[in-house]
C-alpha cells in the first residue's frame, strides 16, 4: 500500500493541483455570480435548483480545501460528485425554469471550467472534453429555447468553451506528465533495487571466490614446498579444495554474464579472434534475452563460415555505441551471392536474421559477394523504447494545442460574425480584430522550435496589444458601441494569444501583456460608464485564462525537472548495475580458469600418492600462474607467460606485478618481449613490474638481483618493427645488485 502510494505520487499531485484549480475557478464564478445577484439581475429559480448549484460549488470547494489531506480515492470521488452535480444542473435546467419564463439563462450554466478540471481528476481527458462540450452545447441550446441568444450570451458560451478547452489541454498535459513522473520514479527505484542486488551478489561472490582461491593457492604452495607433511592430510586438504572449486563453478553455471565474455568464449571455442570497441558504456537493460539471441546468431554465423570457408580467417568484433550494440562476424573466404542462396541456407534465414529481428530494436544484415568474403552484422538498438515513452507526453500536448487552435479560430470567427450582425456598421472593426487574432496565432504556430525568438515575440505582442488598444478606442470613439462582455469579445481573443505565448515558454511576456490587457479593458469600461459588474465580468475571464495557464505550466516545468533528475538517477543506477554485472562476469571467467588449470592437479594431490620433483615444480608453476591472475594484470600474457611458466618449473620464484593497469597493447608488446628474454635465463628470483602511470620508467625487471628498467617512450612515433632493440626511445639500463 505504501509502495503503491509512493509510485503514484506524480499522478496524485497532478490531481491535487487540478482540484485546487477547480476550487479557485468556483470561487471566481461564485464571486461574479454574487455580483449579479447584488444588482438584482437574476431570475427566481426554485430552491432545489439553487441547492444543486450551491452543492456543486460547495463540493468543488471542499475538494480543493481538503486536497492535501484526503486520499487519492476520496479526492477522485469528490471530483466525480462535483462533475455529476454540474451534469445534473445542466440536465434539470428546463425543469427549473419558472412557468412565467425567464429573460435569459444564467451565465454560470455554461461556465464549465471548474467542472472540466474536476472531470480531469475524476475521469481523465475524455470526461473533461465531454463536460466542456456539454456545457457549451447546453448554454447555446437553452439560450435558443429560453432566451438570451444574443451577442453577450453566445460570446459568453463560446469563450467558456475556449477556457474549458485550455483547461482540458494543459490539465491533461499535467496528468500525462504526472504519469511520466511516476513511470520514471518506478524505473529509477527498480534500477536502484537491481543495482543494489547486483552489488550484493558481486560482493558475496567475490568473497566466496577469494576464499576458494586462497584455499587452492595454499594447497598448491604446500604441495610444492616439499616440507615433510603427512601425505593423507595434504590429500584431504586437496580434496576439500576440489570440492570448493567444484561447488563454486556449479553455482555460477546459472549466472547471467556480460555479452563480451560470452562472445569471447564463443570466439575462443571456434579459434576466432575477438575484439571489442567501446565507444560508450554498454547499453543498459540489454540482458538475458538479447544476449541469448546475439550469442545464438553469432554461433550460427561462425558455424556457417567454418562450413563454407574452412580455410578463411575469421573475426568477431563487438562494438558498443551510444545508439546500438553491434556484432560483426567477418571472414575472407570465397563469399557468396546472398540473393541466390537465401532459400537453401536455412541457417542464415532462420537462425540469424529471424532470431535478431524478433528482438526489440534488433536486426541482422549480410554483406557478401562471390570472391569478397562475408560480413554478417548483428545490431540491437539501445533503449529505443525509452525514447518513445519520453516523447509520448509531448506528442499528446501537440495534438491538444492543435485542437485548441481550431476551437480558437472557430469561436473567434463566430464571435466576429455575431458582433457584426448585432452592429452591422462596425464590420470593419470586427474583421480587423479577427484578422489580427488569426495573424498573431499563425505567427506563433509557424514558429520553429518551442520558444519564439525575441523578434517574433515582439511582433506578436505588438499585434495583440495594439489590436486591443485600437479595438477599444475604435469601439468607443468611432462606432460608439456600449461596453459589454459581447462587444469586448476580442479581449478573450487577445488573452488567448498570451496563453499561447505562455505555452511557448514566454511566461513573463504573457503575464505583462495580460496586465496591460486588463488595464485597457477596465479603462474602456470606466470611460464608457459601464456598470462595475459588467467590467468585472469582462475582465475576469482573460485573467483566469492566462493565470491558470501560467500556473499549470509552472507546475509542469517543475514536474519535468523532477523527471529529469529521476531519469538520471535511474541511468546511473543501471550503469553501476551493469558494471557490477561485468565485474561478476569477469570473476566467473576467472573461476572457470581456476577450475580448468588447478583442478586436475588438486585431484592428483587428493589421490594421496608420492609427489615427484617434477610434480612439485608443476604445482609451483600452477600456483604462480594463478597468483598472476590476481596481480600480474597485462603481464600475464604470452610471450612472457610461457617463459615464466618454464622458469617456475625450474624452481625460479617469479613475481609479476601490474601496477599500471591500463597499458596500451602497442606499448605492452615490446615490454613483454624484453622481460621474456631476461626471464629465460633466470636462476633464482624474478620480479617484473609495470609501473604506475607518470613514472619515468614504464617497467622494471629484477632478475637474480640484476635490475633493469624499460624507459617510457618520449614520442609516440615508434612505428618500427617490434622488439626491444628497435623500439624508438627505449633504453635498457642495468645495474648489478648483488
Partner 1 sequence: MPATTRIAIVDDHELVAMAVQNLIEGADGLEFTRHATSVTDLVRRMRDADLVLLDLTLRDGTDPGENVRQIRDWGADVLVLTSGEDPYLVRNASRAEVLGIVRKSTPRQALVDAIRTAARGELVPTTEWASALDTDPLLAAAPLTLREREVLSLYASGLGARGVAERLFISENTVNDHLRRIRSLYHRLGRSAATKVELYQRGIEDGYVQAPGRD
Residues that bind partner 1 (CB under 8 A): 202-203, 206-207, 209-211, 213-215, 217-218, 220-222, 224-230, 233-234, 237, 583-584, 586-587, 620, 623-624, 626-627, 630-631, 633-634, 653, 655, 657-662, 685-692, 695, 700-702, 705, 707, 709, 735-738
Q: Which is nearer to partner 1, 111 or 238 (CB)?
A: 238
In angstroms, what is the minimal distance from the CB of 221 to partner 1?
Answer: 4
In angstroms, what is the minimal distance from the CB of 615 to partner 1?
Answer: 16
**Integer Cα distance of 538 and 528 in angstroms:** 13
Q: Which is nearer to partner 1, 230 or 714 (CB)?
A: 230
Q: Which is nearer to partner 1, 98 or 609 (CB)?
A: 609
In angstroms, what is the minimal distance from the CB of 635 to partner 1?
Answer: 10
In angstroms, what is the minimal distance from the CB of 248 to partner 1?
Answer: 13
* Sheet strand arrangement including 324-331: 273-278, 314-320, 324-331, 374-381, 362-368
In angstroms, what is the minimal distance from the CB of 196 to partner 1?
Answer: 13
In angstroms, what is the minimal distance from the CB of 325 to partner 1?
Answer: 23
Ramachandran quadrant class, 521 (left: phi over 0; alpha: psi -120 to 50; beta: rest): alpha
In angstroms, what is the minimal distance from the CB of 573 to partner 1?
Answer: 15
With CA atoms as reference, report the closest residue to 418 among 625, 159, 222. 159
**Integer Cα distance of 593 and 261 in angstroms:** 13
Return the ∠ at Cα 126 (arms to 121 and 131), rounded to 5°: 75
C-alpha cell at 451: 520558444
In angstroms, what is the minimal distance from the CB of 24 to partner 1?
Answer: 52
Q: Which is nearer to partner 1, 496 or 619 (CB)?
A: 619
Listing DSSP states for 453-484 in one string gives PHHHHHHHHHHHHHHHHHHHHIIIIIS-PPP-
In angstroms, what is the minimal distance from the CB of 606 to partner 1?
Answer: 13
Q: Which is nearer to partner 1, 370 or 705 (CB)?
A: 705
**Integer Cα distance of 704 and 308 in angstroms:** 53
With CA atoms as reference, report the closest residue to 81 among 25, 48, 140, 123. 123
Q: Which is nearer to partner 1, 260 or 685 (CB)?
A: 685
In angstroms, what is the minimal distance from the CB of 675 to partner 1?
Answer: 12
Residues 528 and 483: beta-carbon distance below 8 Å = yes
In angstroms, what is the minimal distance from the CB of 680 to partner 1?
Answer: 17
Listing DSSP states for 277-338 in one string gives EESSSPPTT--HHHHHHHHHHHHHHHHHHHHH-TTS-EEEEEEE-SSEEEEEEEE-S----H
CA distance to 384, 411, 487, per residue, from 417 (Å): 50, 10, 12
Grid cell 503503491 is found at 4
Residue 31, judged by CB atoms within 10 A of its CB (0-12, 13-18, 19+), counts as: exposed
Q: Which is nearer to partner 1, 558 or 631 (CB)?
A: 631
C-alpha cell at 298: 553469432
In angstroms, what is the minimal distance from the CB of 198 to partner 1?
Answer: 12
In angstroms, what is the minimal distance from the CB of 698 to partner 1?
Answer: 12
**Integer Cα distance of 108 and 589 in angstroms:** 75
With CA atoms as reference, report the closest residue to 676 among 649, 658, 650, 703. 703
**Integer Cα distance of 634 and 664 in angstroms:** 9
Q: Which is nearer to partner 1, 220 or 294 (CB)?
A: 220
Q: Which is nearer to partner 1, 566 or 691 (CB)?
A: 691
CA distance to 276, 709, 720, 725, 727, per residue, from 717 (Å): 25, 20, 8, 15, 10
**Integer Cα distance of 173 and 167 in angstroms:** 9
Q: Which is nearer to partner 1, 128 or 581 (CB)?
A: 581
With CA atoms as reference, report the closest residue to 636 among 651, 210, 644. 644
Question: Which residues have a Cβ under 8 Å from the Cβ of 731 and sit 6 or more positions away?
Answer: 711
Alpha helices by DSSP H, 67-150 = 72-96, 113-146
In angstroms, what is the minimal distance from the CB of 582 to partner 1?
Answer: 9
Q: Which is nearer to partner 1, 247 or 350 (CB)?
A: 247
Q: Which is nearer to partner 1, 23 or 668 (CB)?
A: 668
**Integer Cα distance of 284 and 80 in angstroms:** 42
In angstroms, what is the minimal distance from the CB of 601 to partner 1?
Answer: 14
Q: Which is nearer to partner 1, 268 or 631 (CB)?
A: 631
**Integer Cα distance of 180 and 11 in angstroms:** 9
Residues 329 and 316: beta-carbon distance below 8 Å = yes
Residues 692 and 728: beta-carbon distance below 8 Å = no
Question: Which residues have a Cβ under 8 Å from the Cβ of 491 and sit 6 or more positions away?
Answer: 468, 517, 521, 538, 539, 541, 542
C-alpha cell at 492: 478573450
Residue 2, judged by CB atoms within 10 A of its CB (0-12, 13-18, 19+), counts as: exposed
Residues 160 and 112: beta-carbon distance below 8 Å = yes
Q: Which is nearer to partner 1, 184 or 198 (CB)?
A: 198
In angstroms, what is the minimal distance from the CB of 614 to partner 1?
Answer: 18
Residues 322 and 281: beta-carbon distance below 8 Å = no
Residue 363: which H helix or E strand, with range?
strand 362-368
Q: Which is nearer to partner 1, 229 or 369 (CB)?
A: 229
Query: Which of the 8 DSSP states describes residue 650?
Result: T
Q: Which is nearer to partner 1, 336 or 619 (CB)?
A: 619
In angstroms, what is the minimal distance from the CB of 628 to partner 1?
Answer: 9
Q: Which is nearer to partner 1, 236 or 533 (CB)?
A: 236
Amino acid at each position: 500500500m505504501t509502495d503503491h502510494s509512493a509510485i503514484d505520487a506524480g499522478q496524485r499531485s497532478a490531481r491535487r493541483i487540478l482540484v485546487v484549480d477547480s476550487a479557485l475557478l468556483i470561487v471566481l464564478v461564485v464571486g461574479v455570480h454574487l455580483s449579479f445577484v447584488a444588482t438584482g439581475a437574476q431570475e427566481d429559480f426554485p430552491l432545489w435548483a439553487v441547492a444543486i448549484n450551491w452543492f456543486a460549488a460547495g463540493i468543488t470547494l471542499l475538494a480543493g480545501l481538503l486536497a492535501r489531506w484526503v486520499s487519492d480515492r476520496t479526492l477522485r470521488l469528490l471530483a466525480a460528485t462535483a462533475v455529476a452535480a454540474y451534469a445534473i444542473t445542466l440536465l434539470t435546467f428546463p425543469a427549473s425554469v419558472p412557468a412565467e419564463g425567464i429573460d435569459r439563462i444564467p451565465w454560470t450554466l455554461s461556465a464549465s471550467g471548474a467542472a472540466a478540471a474536476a472531470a480531469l481528476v475524476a475521469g481523465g481527458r475524455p470526461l473533461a472534453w465531454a463536460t466542456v462540450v456539454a456545457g457549451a452545447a447546453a448554454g447555446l441550446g437553452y439560450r435558443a429555447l429560453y432566451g438570451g441568444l444574443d451577442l453577450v450570451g453566445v460570446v459568453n458560451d463560446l469563450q467558456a468553451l475556449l477556457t474549458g478547452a485550455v483547461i482540458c489541454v494543459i490539465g491533461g498535459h499535467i496528468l500525462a506528465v504526472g504519469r511520466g513522473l511516476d513511470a520514471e520514479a518506478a524505473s529509477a527505484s527498480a534500477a536502484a533495487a537491481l543495482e543494489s542486488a547486483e552489488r550484493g551478489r558481486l560482493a558475496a561472490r567475490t568473497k566466496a571466490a577469494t576464499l576458494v582461491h586462497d584455499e587452492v593457492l595454499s594447497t598448491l604452495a604446500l604441495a610444492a614446498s616439499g616440507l615433510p607433511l603427512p601425505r593423507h592430510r595434504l590429500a584431504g586438504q586437496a580434496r576439500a579444495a576440489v570440492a570448493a572449486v567444484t561447488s563454486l563453478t556449479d553455482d555460477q553455471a546459472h549466472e547471467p554474464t556480460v555479452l563480451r565474455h560470452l562472445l569471447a568464449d564463443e570466439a575462443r571455442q571456434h579459434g576466432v579472434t575477438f575484439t571489442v570497441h567501446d565507444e560508450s558504456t554498454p547499453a543498459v537493460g540489454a540482458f538475458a534475452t538479447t544476449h541469448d539471441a546475439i550469442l545464438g546468431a553469432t554461433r550460427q554465423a561462425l558455424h556457417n563460415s567454418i562450413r563454407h570457408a574452412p580455410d578463411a580467417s575469421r573475426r568477431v568484433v563487438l562494438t558498443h555505441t551510444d545508439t546500438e550494440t553491434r556484432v560483426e562476424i567477418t571472414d575472407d573466404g570465397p563469399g557468396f551471392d546472398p540473393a541466390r542462396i537465401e532459400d537453401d541456407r536455412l541457417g542464415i534465414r532462420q537462425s540469424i536474421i529471424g532470431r535478431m529481428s524478433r528482438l526489440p530494436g534488433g536486426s541482422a544484415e549480410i554483406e557478401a559477394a562471390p570472391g569478397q568474403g562475408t560480413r554478417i552484422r548483428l545490431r540491437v538498438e539501445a533503449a529505443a523504447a525509452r525514447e518513445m515513452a519520453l516523447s509520448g507526453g509531448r506528442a499528446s500536448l501537440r495534438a491538444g494545442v492543435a485542437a485548441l487552435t481550431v476551437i480558437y479560430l472557430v469561436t473567434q470567427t463566430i464571435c466576429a460574425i455575431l458582433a457584426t450582425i448585432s452592429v452591422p456598421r462596425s464590420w470593419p472593426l470586427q474583421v480587423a480584430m479577427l484578422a489580427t487574432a488569426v495573424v498573431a496565432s499563425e505567427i506563433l504556430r509557424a514558429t520553429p522550435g518551442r520558444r519564439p525568438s525575441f523578434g517574433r515575440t515582439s511582433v506578436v505582442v505588438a499585434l495583440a496589444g495594439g489590436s486591443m488598444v485600437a479595438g477599444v478606442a475604435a469601439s468607443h470613439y468611432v462606432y460608439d458601441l456600449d461596453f459589454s462582455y459581447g462587444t469586448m469579445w476580442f479581449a478573450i481573443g487577445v488573452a488567448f494569444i498570451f496563453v499561447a505565448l505562455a505555452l511557448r515558454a514566454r511566461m513573463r511576456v504573457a503575464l505583462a501583456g495580460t496586465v496591460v490587457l486588463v488595464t485597457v479593458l477596465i479603462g474602456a469600461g470606466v470611460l464608457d460608464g459601464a456598470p462595475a459588474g459588467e467590467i468585472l465580468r469582462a475582465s475576469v475571464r482573460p485573467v483566469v485564462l492566462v493565470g491558470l495557464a501560467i500556473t499549470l505550466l509552472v507546475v509542469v516545468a517543475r514536474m519535468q525537472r523532477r523527471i529529469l533528475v529521476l531519469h538520471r538517477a535511474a541511468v546511473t543506477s543501471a550503469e553501476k548495475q551493469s558494471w557490477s554485472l561485468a565485474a561478476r562476469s569477469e570473476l566467473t571467467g576467472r573461476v572457470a580458469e581456476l577450475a580448468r588449470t588447478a583442478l586436475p592437479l588438486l585431484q592428483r594431490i587428493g589421490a594421496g600418492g608420492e609427489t615427484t620433483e617434477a610434480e612439485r615444480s608443476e604445482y609451483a608453476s600452477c600456483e604462480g600462474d594463478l597468483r598472476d591472475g590476481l596481480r600480474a594484470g597485462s603481464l600475464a600474457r604470452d610471450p612472457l607467460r610461457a617463459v615464466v611458466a618454464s622458469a617456475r618449473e625450474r624452481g625460479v620464484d617469479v613475481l609479476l606485478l601490474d601496477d599500471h593497469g591500463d597499458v596500451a597493447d602497442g606499448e605492452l608488446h615490446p615490454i613483454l618481449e624484453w622481460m621474456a628474454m631476461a626471464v629465460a635465463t633466470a636462476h633464482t628470483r624474478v620480479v617484473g613490474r609495470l609501473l604506475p602511470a607518470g613514472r619515468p620508467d614504464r617497467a622494471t625487471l629484477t632478475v637474480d638481483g640484476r635490475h633493469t628498467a624499460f624507459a617510457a617512450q618520449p614520442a609516440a612515433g615508434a612505428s618500427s618493427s617490434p622488439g626491444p632493440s628497435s623500439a624508438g626511445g627505449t633504453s635498457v639500463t642495468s645495474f648489478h645488485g648483488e
